[in-house]
Structure 1
Amino acid sequence: MTDTPKYNALRAAGVFDASLDSLAQWAPQWTEQYMDLVEDGHTNEVLEPKLVALIRLNIDVTATHLYAPGVRRHVRNALRLGASRAEILEVFKLASVVGIHACALGVPILEEELAAAGREDDTVTPGATPVCDQVRANGMFNPLWETLYRWDPQYLEKFLGMGLGLWQDGILPPLWIEFLCIAGDATVTHMYGHGTRRHIEAALQLGATREQILQVLKIVSLQGIEACELGVPMLDEALHSLAK
């Protein structure tokens, strides 16, 4: 790998593992061109290195992707950069609440189709919903949840109760949480536009700069290399099998 100094350096730093070694051998120039992009996200000072590792971890562990080799590598890298067990677990929790997007997307569509079919829209008496009330008061209530609140307020109350504490427990700074949410929603395996916009707005309100948010999106854009991380070792294995 003498022709790929940038890849060698990032590999030694734990950003990549052996899965791209054959790529570096077969296509050194292309590999180095990609590493130019990777270096930008790992060597500048726009975001803290630990946050970069947590963002990459969030991208890979979210249900829209579930890329185990990346999760394993980014857990190791985050620990190396000083992340605690609690902080990494917080990323896993945050990735778990992305499930509410199924309701944010599907329930309004169901409402429209029920109306088109002439079906009644019965509202359920909400009862006490202190978590929903708090989320509304904080300006965090997604308008796409309104119909779910009318139909099944206690389910939404329980779901938001699971998620709201992540913004309040102090394990990760609220701005970091917004950066992680931007990454999870903008990732190429999700591309949830409504959530990306909401979390960009929230990050800006918390004082994020354009450069910081752009850096998050640039890190997300590098997810595409996982096609090579997954495919190149399989190609290498198949070529060795044919040569026997």
Structure 2
Amino acid sequence: MAENLYRHPEPVPPASQLAVLPFLAAVDGYLREAGNVPGLRITMHRAVSREGDGYLQQVCAYLQESGGNAFGTVGRFFPVNDRIMGAAYGSGKIWRTHHYDSVETLHADLRKTEKGNLSKTPVSYLAIPFLGPQDQVVLILYADCNQLNFFANDERVARLVAMSKGLCRLFDWLQKEPFPALRNFPLQKGEPITGETGLYDIHEPLSKPAAPKFAEVFSFNYEAAVA
């Protein structure tokens, strides 16, 4: 079923997409502050339930150099243990590609699990989970790029976490004082569906900084509401 859901994405409410896109645009702007980052893509996933099964679902288009790409991306479902996102989901920790001295060394590790031409495979990955009040994963910020060691920079990751904590404070406030025509409708918790992890042997979890955490938000599902 997970494969079918991956190929046949389901709609994400426009309000949910718009709720995260300005934040992702700010993240994109920060990451490109010193210049272009080749192949940089940024998106957000959320924990969802479908027919009692739990998945990760891509909330919005990838933000990339062209501004965005909505085709074949929004609404895709992934098993909860899928690659670096799944590692972040299962551990509640931030995961990233660790430091490498060269792309050749990284590719040597990638070939242990990834076959074929690696020239188009990103060389830097990052997954930041957003935890709920009970430490459940609500959202996951995902990014990758073609610049070696881009996310192995501790200061860069720390600043992204600080930005993410600001987003948590915003949505905690909106949870208590929502806009009249906008609500975060609760999502039911599903039994997590797993698949082949596909986790590359190039990543590491971070003990610090801790993942950003909501105080009020248990799930993420913004939709227009009757005023």
Which TM class, normalised by the smaller chain length? Answer: 0.3 to 0.5
Point out the structure with the larger strand share. Answer: 2
TM-score, scaled relative to structure 1: 0.31
From the CA coordinates, give the structure whose radius of gyration is larger.
Answer: 1
TM-score, scaled relative to structure 2: 0.33
The structure with higher relative contact order (CA 8 Å, sep 6+) is 2
